[in-house]
Amino acid sequence: MSDHYQWQRDSDTISTDPAQLDVEMIHQFLTTSYWVPGIERRTVEISIENSLCFGLYHETKQIGFARIVTDYARFAYLLDVFVVEQVRAQGLGKWLIACILECPALDLLPSIGLATRDAHSFYEAFGWERLSSADHLMRLTRIPRPTPDV
């Protein structure tokens, strides 16, 4: 995808331009998250390079993030969604998800998957549904090889 998308609301911006991302801030947040505690910075860098990323900014400071792993036609998975604690409860997370769902790059997708431990009702408000049975899903757990230092 070569196009970048941007949404503006007052002094807040959401952008898919990877050049604007504060990778250090994203890494620091994810390191303390419940879903990838202690994640290595290089792993975060690789995941960003291979995803459609949405940075949330107040003026020029990054305050949130989400990324989509996708083939832009049939498959998409939403990951690493967060808004920093200092600015939560201001509707920014809802705005972030709304912008993701209206992003033209994702128009062809029939569905977007996600996994959450604690935000089911948040995502249900946007139309996500809990799966009554996940026995059709499978996972291969692997021990990853170390990432090369680049």
pLDDT attached to residue 140: 58
Q: Label residue 131 left, alpha or beta by phi (over 0 means left) and psi (-120 to 50 means alpha).
A: beta
pLDDT attached to residue 148: 67
Percentage of residues of the chain with pLDDT beyond 90: 68
Helix-helix angle 41-49:23-31, to 10 degrees: 120
CATH code, 64: 3.40.630.30
Work out how many domains the chain is built from and give that number.
Answer: 1
Rounded to whole angstroms, the Cα distance separating 95 from 125 reads: 12
Domain that holds residue 23: 6-124
Is residue 145 in a domain? no
pLDDT by residue (tens digit) across 14-48?
A: 999 999 999 999 999 999 999 999 999 999 999 99
Rounded to whole angstroms, the Cα distance separating 98 from 101 reads: 5
Residue 141 reports pLDDT greater than 80: no
pLDDT by residue (tens digit) across 78-99?
A: 999 999 988 888 899 999 999 9
Q: In terms of pLDDT, which residue wins out, 55 or 149?
A: 55
Q: What is the mean predicted confidence (pLDDT) over 41-70?
A: 96
Is residue 139 in a domain? no
SS3 30: helix
Is residue 143 in a domain? no
Average pLDDT, the chain: 90
